[in-house]
Structure 1
Amino acid sequence: MSRKTLAGKRVAITGGAHGIGRETALAFLTAGADVVLGDVDVGAVRAAAEQLGRSHGGTVIGLALDVTDGARFGSFLTCAERKLDGLDVVVNAADVLPAGLFRANSEAEPDLRIDVDLRAVTIGTRMAAERFAGRGHGQVVNIGTAAGVTAALGVAVYCATRHGVAGLGAALDQELSGTGVILSTVAPGSHADHEAVADAVVDCVRHRRGGLINVPPAGALRTPGGFLRHLFTREGQR
């Protein structure tokens, strides 16, 4: 993605120090957007912002964020707005990786996954939607997974939280219709690489696509522009 098709867009990304969050920040910067990253790993998110800004240019800022704390989440969004002189997109990318069979989980492990992978997404979505609806425009992108629709063996709590994210997106895609707020749920399939997910996020913002957006596994055919063919499958729509 070499064209600056999103120049002027102001984007906040949770879980921005690593993985999909960091890769998504790179994709937005490459498309010309300005980015604020939030992560509980303060040192890593600041280092990521510095490295991305140095190597790719543009405005990129790293801030501390505990997504499970509603007050801190609100402060993060307020600070992001102040740093970027406004906010157009919020990407909820923070997550906790699956940890194996349900019966082998400790009592605390499911709680952490529910807090980060579902409750925090709900918090971030509500806060962003409230801000955007008051202005009549804005987009929230939640990172889910195909396992949140079909389920997968050995990651029961992860699937449960992602079922919740998919359901939240399906309901809010309808509820927010007419408010100017777009709700997108990007759902990577098994073994989808971070770059493909980041491309999907940026492309749904570029084209203002809402609803459920499936990302094929790694190795799926790409067009010369980097966009995955057959990437988008909105419920009830092609």
Structure 2
Amino acid sequence: MTMQIKSTAAAASATARADLSGKHALVTGGAQGIGASIARALLAQGASVTIAGRTAASLQAAVLTLQAEVQAGARLDYVVLDVSDAAGVELAVAKVHAAGGAIDILINNAGQAAAAPFLKTDAELWQRMLDVNLSGSFHCTQAVLPAMLQAGWGRIVNVVSTAGLTGYAYVAAYCAAKHGVIGLTRALALELATKGITVNAVCPGYTETDLLQQAVQNIVEKTGRSEQQARAELAAANPQRRLVQPDEVANAVLWLCLPQSAAMNGQSIAVAGGELL
């Protein structure tokens, strides 16, 4: 496994609040979309942030984009890792700890989605959905938890999906994996309830990301609908008749990370305009 870290710092904004000053966050899948928005929100609150992903080039580009948000005394790093590789995650987290200090906040955001009718969902697709979406959260949480327990403080937020709270046709493997993350969230929240560590899940509906664009293209290819029609079909699931924006998901994640949110534990919060009531 290859692991690389870069660091940068910028002057603090005079108006920025520093509710997370002195805290170190690891955001998986942090190079783009929801992950990059979460990283930006955490940086703006004074946290040091390490973004993680599988491609160094995309992580480097994200660092350049995000560096203006870094507050005085904080750091912005990146690490190349594959969340489905348990040994690789353990090694990467150890190196991140050595370079930037213990991780206080873990955002399990890395994920993949694939659609297929159930009878065409082969063992490889099934296992891949479990490996990335469920086992990835497990591996990263196990790697960072000892330091959180030693510190007596921590925040773990699993970015799941409304697919973790309800069913959707043609994505049985994805739904099963995401439901598993909700179960993991609830069980671990109870186990850690007296340890100063909270565990919660944020469940976005259809959100304006590269992953959604892939879903749009899939609809276009399989149904012959136009891209505009495909996007409208996805937006229709939201009672607000629109797609969720990455910053809206990031705001929910940030709130759960704040010291003031210590009573929030074991919750699965849908960010979906009222889709699930």
Give the TM-score band, short-chain normalised: 0.7 to 0.9
Q: 2:44 aligns with which of 22, 27, 30?
A: 30
- Is the Cα–Cα contact under 8 Å of residues 187 and 212 in structure 1 kept in the other structure? no
- TM-aligned CA deviation for residue 142 of structure 1: 1.1
Counterparts of 1:180-219 in structure 2, within 5 Å, are 180-191=196-207, 192-206=244-258, 207-208=261-262, 209-217=264-272
- Pair 1:133–1:103, CA change in 2 (3 A): same
Q: What 5-or-longer segments of structure 2 have no aligned partner? A: 1-14, 208-243
- Is the Cα–Cα contact under 8 Å of residues 31 and 53 in structure 2 kept in the other structure? yes
Aligned-residue identity in percent: 29
Counterparts of 1:141-180 in structure 2, within 5 Å, are 141-180=157-196
Partner in structure 1 of residue 223 of structure 2: none
Partner in structure 2 of residue 229 of structure 1: none
AA of the residue aligned to 2:246: H
166-175 vs 185-194, greater mean Cα deviation:
185-194
- TM-aligned CA deviation for residue 179 of structure 1: 1.9
Partner Cα separation in structure 2 for residue 204 and residue 146 of structure 1:
18
155-164 vs 41-50, greater mean Cα deviation:
41-50
Partner Cα separation in structure 1 for residue 69 and residue 117 of structure 2:
40
Partner Cα separation in structure 2 for residue 85 and residue 129 of structure 1:
14
Counterparts of 1:4-83 in structure 2, within 5 Å, are 4-53=18-67, 55-58=68-71, 59-83=75-99
- TM-aligned CA deviation for residue 39 of structure 1: 0.5
- Is the Cα–Cα contact under 8 Å of residues 11 and 34 in structure 1 kept in the other structure? yes
- TM-aligned CA deviation for residue 168 of structure 1: 0.7
- Pair 1:204–1:76, CA change in 2 (3 A): same
Residues paired across the two proteins, number: 219
TM-score by length of 2: 0.73
143-152 vs 95-104, greater mean Cα deviation:
95-104
1:74-122, CA deviations, whole angstroms, 9 ceiling, x for partnerless residues?
1222222223233211111100023343334454222211110011111
Partner in structure 2 of residue 88 of structure 1: 104
Partner in structure 1 of residue 145 of structure 2: 129
Q: What 5-or-longer segments of structure 1 have no aligned partner? A: 221-232, 234-238
Aligned residues: CA RMSD:
2.1
AA of the residue aligned to 1:48: A
**If you compute each CA radius of gyration, which structure gives the higher value, 1 or 2?**
2
Partner Cα separation in structure 2 for residue 131 and residue 7 of structure 1:
18
